[in-house]
Copies of this chain bind each other. A is one copy, B any other.
């Protein structure tokens, strides 16, 4: 109810949101609207400043037509896809 102090959690989650988003030609704003979140939230996720809730991950995956495991991983993704 009072504080804050987030950005940069201890448990990182790697993702390919930006890749998948660009592949569909969407701006962050558009993706955010489709997923029902703030456009800055997409920015934070793409920069991996924090990891999404499962709900959000599921909505983003659905919006981008990807499996959750294709978009998010506990270990870094290899480069070219």
Nearest B-chain residue to A1, judged by Cβ: B3
Q: Which of B2, B58, B61 contacts A13 (CB 8 A)?
A: B58
Chain A residues touching B, range: 20 to 34
Nearest Cβ in chain B — how far from A46, in angstroms?
14
Q: What 0/1 pattern do residues 20 to 46 of A give for CB contact below 8 A with B?
A: 000000000000000000000000000
Q: Which of B2, B54, B62 contacts A53 (CB 8 A)?
A: B54
Nearest Cβ in chain B — how far from A63, in angstroms?
12
Within 8 A of B (CB), among A34-81: 51-59, 61-62, 67-69, 72-74
Query: What residues of chain A have their CB less than 8 Å away from a CB belonging to chain B?
Result: 1-3, 11, 13, 51-59, 61-62, 67-69, 72-74
